[in-house]
Chain A
Amino acid sequence: MRVTVDGDRCCGFGACVEMMPDLFRLRDSDGLAEAVGETNDDQGDAVLDVAKACPTEAIKVER
């Protein structure tokens, strides 16, 4: 599973970091989120929930 954050869309709201702190983090340099951790297939639903919660719809999940 490949999880990416579209930096042109992300507004640094941080819902992803609050929901999955092991997978996402917010950078200080530009305030934007990035996916940093490893994901396994068991987390698929959780990641999709995060993607849905992202206000800017910036999180892309490819299985």
Chain B
Amino acid sequence: MRENDPGLTDHDFLGARAGEPGAFAAVVRSQQRLVYGIALRMLGDRSLAEDLAQEVFLQLHCNLRSIESTAHLTFWLRRVTAHRAIDLLRRRARVQWAPLAAAEELPAAGPQGDPLMEARLLREVSQLSPVARAVLLMRYQQDLDPTEIARTLDLSLNTVKSHLKRSLATLRLQLSAAEPGGGLVNHEP
């Protein structure tokens, strides 16, 4: 998910900046999946993610004039959403993923997915620190490379690489411990 959603045009973006009615709504519609997607996978709670996503767009409305392009908009949304989620997680007690018994509260597994494996993986991801979780999201949800992740999250490149390496090792260890017969292929981030 490297590019803006196809729905966001320069016309909508410039119109939103100029305060044209309906243009900001078009921006929200085109970017809501990006913002909510980051918020939900960071926080693990639909209503918290909804609140956070709404606040990000309210903040966007205030700061539109300082955003120069659609690419800048995407960068800004990722950055603000991730930072807000990290701050929220740090202020609150660690948010636990819903147990399997309440799995109907979470989005259904994707077409390729094993729902149990997915739930287990999400639970292990939720055990990571907020920053490590954000790094994983930027890499595997937003498809950013480590340099872009570093810019987005205000981290050094080495810190990003370290987080990725350690997080993957931790996840691999936890998942392998649960299923001794299921080895995971090792990939360098």
Tell me, yes or no, whether A binds B: no
